[in-house]
A and B are shown apart, each in its own frame.
Chain A
């Protein structure tokens, strides 16, 4: 069945460095992807999204890259800060398939070393 997975379960980075979190998805029909940040004891917080007709999208300090050829998604965080420490999930969906829910990947814990 469809699944969304991650290459790295944990990631430790020095404060100020850039972080790259990766995600692989298996459903080639997925056309909408989102990155969420989840802090301990809280719900997922939207970071950035991208549709399949794009391969890159930038936000404030974050960039999402989409490679549909290899079904790979990444989140880049520039100048990582202690407040970025959290678990990051990618999620995917097919907008054209109707009212379907987001499917979440396994998550990557990002730890920022001060």
Chain B
């Protein structure tokens, strides 16, 4: 149980295009999803916290108009990188927090999406 999926797993796009990444909790409901970005040989850096039915909370330095987050249901959050540029190339990882069932604080991570902007 507690599986989180991401789609696509890998995407290559041209500079200036927009890319949407989906994060789904497959067998549990997640009221909160987190989006992280990871550059090569670095740690996971939190980009934003996404709560179902409300606006995302962005970390300092993360442009909310560039990284659009939509958490429309308890099992799906999307991250759209708008007008992507090569410096946006990174590994994007989502995680979902499950409430109920005695695992209220546990975060479950997706497999990540590798974005390459040419």
Contacts and interface: CB of A to CB of B under 8 A. Distances in A.
A43 B110 contact: yes
Interface residues of B, number: 25
B111 to A, nearest CB: 5
A13 interface: no
A101 B34 contact: yes
Interface residues of A, number: 19
Interface string B1-38: 00010100000000000000000000000011010100
A45 B36 CA distance: 15
Contacts of A103: 46
Contacts of B91: 41
Interface of B: 4, 6, 31-32, 34, 36, 42-46, 49, 51, 91, 93, 95, 97, 105, 107-112, 114
20 contacts: A36-B109, A41-B91, A42-B111, A43-B4, A44-B44, A46-B109, A89-B43, A89-B44, A95-B105, A99-B32, A99-B97, A101-B46, A101-B49, A101-B95, A102-B95, A102-B107, A104-B36, A104-B43, A105-B43, A107-B42
